[in-house]
Amino acid sequence: MSGRDPNFDILFEPVKIGPVTARNRFYQVPHCNGMGDRHPRGMAAMRGVKAEGGWAVVSTEEVSIDHTTDFAPAIEGRLWDEGDIPYHARMVEAVHEHGALAAIELCHQGIACANLESREPPLAPSAQTLNVSSPLQAREMDKSDIRAVRDSHRASALLAKRAGYDIVYVYAGHDLSLAQHFLLTRYNQRRDEYGGSLENRVRLLRELIEDTKDAVGDSCAVAVRLAVDELLGADGIEAAGEAPDVIAMLAELPDLWDVNISDWPNDSQTARFAEEGYQDGYTAFVKSLTSKPVVGVGRYTSPDRMAAMVRKGTLDFIGAARPSIADPFLPKKIEEGRIEDIRECIGCNICVSGDMTNTRIRCTQNPTMGEEWRKGWHPERIPPAASGDAVLIVGGGPAGLECARALGQRGYPVTVAEAGDALGGRVRLESRLPGMASYMRVADYRLAAFQNLPNVETYLDSALSADDVIAYDAAHVVLATGATWRRDGVGKNQRLPLAIPESAPAIYTPDDIMAGAAPADGPVLVYDDDGYIMAGLIAEKLARDGRDVTFMMPHSVVSPWTEMTLEQYAIQRRLLEAGVTILSGRRLTALDGAVRHACVYTDAEAELAAAAVVLVTSRISNDGLWRGLQARAEAGDVPWRTLTRIGDALAPATVAHAVYAGHRYAREFDAPVPDGTPYKVERVNV
C-alpha cells in the first residue's frame, strides 16, 4: 500500500499528450549533460535512471538537425541522418524500459552557433553578428534556406520517430533557436512574409510545428518549447507583451506547451538570485489560452507547491531539469510517501558547469550523476558491506558526511568525529552568506539519512589529535578535515607569500568573515584571486552591512568562473547595485601602510587606502593531522589498515568535489578499482 499523502495524488494522474499518454505529471524537460553524442552510453544510462525514478517524460538535450547548425565544441545531441539513430535508440530503450515517454528537442541554433566544425556560414533571419562570442557573422536566409531548414527539421523528426521517440519538440527558447530568432524584432528585419508583423515573424515556428505534425504526428506528440519572456523589457518578447499573442495564434496547434523564460541564465537562475517557483509569474497566463497541456519549470522541489500549481490550474506538468539531476528518484519518493528522502537541489548550477566546460554533467547533491554507466553508480542503490570493518571519519563537512552516509547505507559501522559544535563543515558557514541558505541542504540531506542508520555515530566538539586517532583503534581512518582560506595572498597570480608587515592594514580571510568577524572600521578591500563565488559573496555581505567596499581582481570581470554557472552577470550587477567599487585587471603587490597594486598588463603601480583587506586567494588543506599520523606510521606500528584523505583535505575544490570524493571512498572501500583508468571509457572504434 502506498504511504503517499493523498494531497499529492493529483501529481500521479496520467495526462494525455496528443497521441501518447504520460503516466504522471513529472516531466524532465530537456537539459544538457556534456555526454550527448560523445558519450552516448553514459547519456542513455543517466536518462534511464530518471525514468526508473518515476519521471513520466524524459527528454534529451538540444539535438542538432543538420550541418548548418553545428554546436561544436559543445557536447550535445545530433540527428543528421540514419547514422545517428542507434545512439538515440539506445536512450529511448533505456527510458521505455521503465515506462516513461522519451522526448527529443530538435534544434537549429541560428545565430547562437558559429558552425566551428562544419564551417558553414551561420544562418539568421537577417544578416547580423552572432549572439555568442565569435568574429563570424551570420548571413540572411533566403527562401531556399528556409525551405532547407524546414526539410531538415522534418527529416530529423522522421528519424526521431524511427529511433522510437514519443514526443518531438519544436524549439523556440533560450535565445538559442532559429524559430525564436525569427520571432524577435531585434533579430528579424525581413521585409518578406517572414518579417514585419507578428503573424509573419511567427510563420517559421508555425511551419515547423505543422511540418512536424504532418511527418510524425500520427504516433508522436509534438511539443513546443517557447520563451515567453526574456527579462529585456520591450527589447525582447514579454509575458505582458507579444507572448500571449504568439500562444493565442498557435494555441491548439502543438500537443503540448513547454514554456519558460529566456535566455539560459534567466531560465536556470541559481538559488542566490531566485527562489523556487521564480518563473510562475511569467508563465501562469499560458493555460488560459490553450486546452493543451502546459509544462513549466522553476526549480520545484516542494511537493506541496507542485500539487498547488496543478490544482490552481497553472501547470499540467511539473517540469524539472535540476531537481531531476539532484534527485532522479524525486517522483518515486513522493509517490511512496518518502518526502524526507528527497535530495533537494541547492540551486548552485555546478551541473551547468559540465556543459559549459564540455565535460560530463556533475551535481553537488547527487554524486552519482554522470557516473551511472562508466562507474556503474546508482543514485539509490549501493552494494552491501563485504565485512564488518569499522571506519573512523575525521571531519563532518560535505566529504565526511557523504562518506559516512554511503558507508552507512552499505551497512558498515561508521564514526564521524567533528571538531566543531555542529555538522556541515564549510556548507554550514557558507550558507550564512547572502542567498546561500540552500547550501545547507547538502548537510541536511545527509543528517536526515543518519536518522535511519543506527550504524552511523556522530560526535561533536571532538577535535582529534594523532594520539586520539591511534587510541580509537579503527581498522580504517578517513581524514575529511577540509581546508582553510590562506592569509598570505598566495593564489593564481601570487605564487609565493606576500610580505605582510606590522604596518599592513588588518588582514582577514573569508573564514574570519563567515565566523562573524567585522573588519576594522574604514574602507575595506576585498581582493579576489580565486575567481569563483566567495569574493563576491564576501563583498556583497560587507556592502549589505553598510561598509565602504572596493573589489579588486586581476581578472577583467568579477568572479569569472561563474560564467560556468551562469551567474557572472548577475553577480557583477548585484555588486554594482550594492555600491561596491570594482577595480579590474589589478594585482596586489604589497601590503604595507597602504595597499599597493599593479596593472596586470603594464605593471603600472598605484596605491589604495584601506583599513582592512579580505584576501580571497586560495585555500590550503588542513593536513596537520595527516602529517602527524604519517610521522607515527613511519615511526612504528599503527592500528589502522588504511589511512586516506578525501575532499578538501586532499585538494581544495568545490562542494560537489567533496561530496563526490566522500561517495567514491564508500563505493571503492572494499571494491578497489583495477589498475589503470578507474572507469569504463566510451570509445568510437572505426
Contacted by 346, from ligand ADP, ligand SF4, none: CB < 5 to 8 Å by type: ligand SF4
Q: Is 648 in the site for ligand ADP (CB under 6 A)?
A: yes
Site for ligand ADP contains 395 (CB under 6 A)? yes
Nearer CB in complex with ligand SF4: 172/449: 449
Measured CA to CA, the distance from residue 379 to residue 333 in angstroms comes to 13
For ligand ADP, the binding residue among 398, 510, 536, 554 (CB under 6 A) is 398
Which triple of cell numbers denotes residue 222? 509534438
Q: How far apart are CA 189 and CA 178, in angstroms?
A: 14
d(CA 454, CA 460): 17
* Nearest distance, CB of residue 395 and ligand ADP, angstroms: 3
**Around Cβ 583, how many Cβ atoms within 10 Å?**
14
Cis status of the peptide bond prior to 66, with omega within 30 of 0: no
Q: Which does 622 bind (CB under 5 to 8 A by kind): ligand SF4, ligand ADP, none?
A: ligand ADP
Question: Is residue 511 a contact partner of residue 476, using CB atoms and an 8 Å limit?
Answer: no
Output 364 or 622, the one with its CB closest to ligand SF4: 364
Q: Which DSSP string corresponds to 657-680?
A: HHHHHHHHHHHHSSSPPPSS-SS-
**230 interacts with ligand ADP by CB under 6 A:** no
Task: State which residue, 328 or 395, has the beta carbon closest to ligand ADP.
Answer: 395
- Nearer CB in complex with ligand SF4: 364/415: 364
- Closer to ligand ADP at the Cβ: 206 or 632? 632
Measured from the CB atom, the residue of 113 and 449 that comes closer to ligand ADP is: 449
Nearer to ligand ADP, 64 or 481 (CB): 481
C-beta atoms surrounding 408 within 10 Å: 24
Q: Does 399 bind ligand ADP (CB under 6 A)?
A: yes
Which residues would be at the binding site for ligand SF4 (CB under 6 A)?
A: 322, 325-326, 345-351, 363-365
- 445 an active-site residue? no
CB of 326 to ligand SF4, least distance (A): 4
Pairing relation of β-strands 26-28 and 612-616?
unpaired
| 35 or 629: CB nearest ligand SF4 | 35
End-to-end CA distance of the chain: 52
> Binding partner of residue 558 among ligand SF4, ligand ADP, none, CB under 5 to 8 Å per kind?
none
Q: Which of residues 450-489 bind ligand ADP (CB under 6 A)?
A: 462-464, 480-483
> Beta strand 15-17 with 20-22: parallel, antiparallel or unpaired?
antiparallel
3-class SS string, 239-254:
CCCCHHHHHHHHCCCC
332 part of the interface to ligand ADP, by CB under 6 A:
no
Pairing relationship of beta strands 221-229 and 167-172 according to DSSP bridges: parallel
Mark the segment that binds ligand ADP (CB under 6 A) among 54-62, 105-113, 114-122, 646-654.
Answer: 646-654
Binding partner selected for residue 570 from ligand SF4, ligand ADP, none, CB under the kind-specific 5 to 8 Å limit: none
The least CB distance from residue 651 to ligand ADP, in Å, is 9
Residue 24 · residue 13 · CB < 8 Å: yes
Q: Which does 394 bind (CB under 5 to 8 A by kind): ligand ADP, ligand SF4, none?
A: ligand ADP
512 binds ligand ADP (CB under 6 A): no
The CA distance from 574 to 556, in Å, is 17
Q: How far, rounded to the nearest angstrom, does the alpha carbon of residue 96 sit from its chain's CA centroid?
A: 26
Q: Which is nearer to ligand ADP, 519 or 652 (CB)?
A: 652
Q: Which does 482 bind (CB under 5 to 8 A by kind): ligand ADP, ligand SF4, none?
A: ligand ADP
Residue 468 in grid coordinates:
586520539
Kindly list the distances between the CA atom of residue 34 and the CA atoms of 72, 95, 414, in Å, as whole numbers in the listed order. 12, 19, 35
Q: Which does residue 326 bind out of ligand SF4, ligand ADP, none, counting CB within 5 to 8 angstroms by kind?
A: ligand SF4
User: With contact defined as beta carbons under 8 Å apart, do 431 and 440 qualify?
Assistant: yes
* 174 noted as active-site residue: yes
* 345 alpha-carbon distance from chain centroid: 9
Among ligand SF4, ligand ADP, none, the one that 364 touches (CB under a kind-dependent 5 to 8 A) is ligand SF4
Q: Decide: residue 192, CB within 10 A, 0-12 exposed, 13-18 middle, 19+ buried.
A: exposed
Active site (annotated) includes residue 171: yes
Question: Cα–Cα distance between 620 and 643 in angstroms, integer?
Answer: 20
679 catalytic? Reply is: no
Catalytic residue from among 37, 70, 267, 327? 267
Residues 6 or more apart in contact with residue 600 via CB below 8 angstroms:
493, 554, 585, 586, 587
**Interface map 412-451 toward ligand ADP (x if CB under 6 A):** -----xxxx----xx-------------------------
Active-site position among 165, 169, 171, 187: 171
Determine which one of 174, 181, 476, 657 is catalytic.
174
- The set of catalytic residues is 32, 171, 174, 267
Residues engaged in binding ligand ADP (CB under 6 A)? 394-400, 417-420, 425-426, 462-464, 480-483, 622, 625, 647-649, 658
